[in-house]
Amino acid sequence: MQTRRIGDVQVGAIGLGGMPMSIEGRPDEQRSIATVHAALEEGVTLIDTADAYHRDAAEVGHNESLIARAVAGYGGDTSDVLIATKGGHLRPGDGSWTLNGSPDYLKQACDASLKRLGVEAIGLYQFHRPDPKVPYAESVGAIRDLLDAGKIRFAGISNADPEQIRLAREILDGRLVSVQNQFSPSFRSSEPELELCAELGITFLPWSPLGGILRAGELGSRFAVFADVAREHGVSPQQVCLAWMLAKSPVVIPIPGSSRPETIRDSAAAVDLKLSAEELARLDAA
């Protein structure tokens, strides 16, 4: 697979989002592990998870543990796999999401993620979502402390606006390597963040790039131009969507969520799809 840079390493230009394997409606573990293995076979080397990707209150970190088992059980070389996780977002177990951006909590959450992933240092640790009850600088300061302590290899932020990106970059002394924001054909309000990341050389990781767990399969019916371009190339609308994102900037690495081997294989093939300037303009205008 073609690669792109994150920090000072190269990873596959398409990543894998682990969330669908652990929340409501998740498949059995065997299929999830087969999905991770399929991704690795296709050259996917960035796998994104979070401690909040779980269903029940008593299984915090379900997806982290699952990803760790799947990677450890893969028969091939996994030395170049970068596992990214996040802290600061919580699921009490009733279907809701809550926030805790306090420095003490983030450091405790990182320690717990380290144990679940079974590593000495987390590849990429991201502050999951701003907590309005905690000054942003304090939350990011905790990520800086984890980086300085060697508990994380790279530092990132998620769900951030341009002002927060600049502030995080300053607090981290220029060591902010990634921003993970929602971005898809139906959610384009993160264009300013994408453009800022391109300007600063920070990797931009679109989450839910195909429209989310419940809507990804409907992408072609919701956005006819993606289906039209897909027919012209003999590929899926989802492939067209990911190729469109890759063409926006070399800093973009989409992380489509998947829980089936066939869908991550289809997504990975997007790196080989070349779209013309005219097609990209049509997709941008959709």
* Residues taking part in catalysis: 53
Give SS3 for 270.
helix
Q: Residue 167: which of 143, 192, 197, 136 has the closest Cα?
A: 136
Which residue in this structure is represented by tokens 């970059």? 169
What single letter denotes the amino acid at residue 73? Answer: G
Distance of alpha carbon 229 from alpha carbon 169, whole angstroms: 38
- Which stretches of the chain are assigned E, i.e. beta strand? 3-6, 9-12, 16-17, 46-48, 82-87, 89-90, 98-99, 122-127, 152-158, 176-182, 203-207
**Per-residue DSSP letters for 56-113?**
SGGGTTHHHHHHHHHHHT-SS--TT-EEEEEESEE--SSS--EE---HHHHHHHHHHH
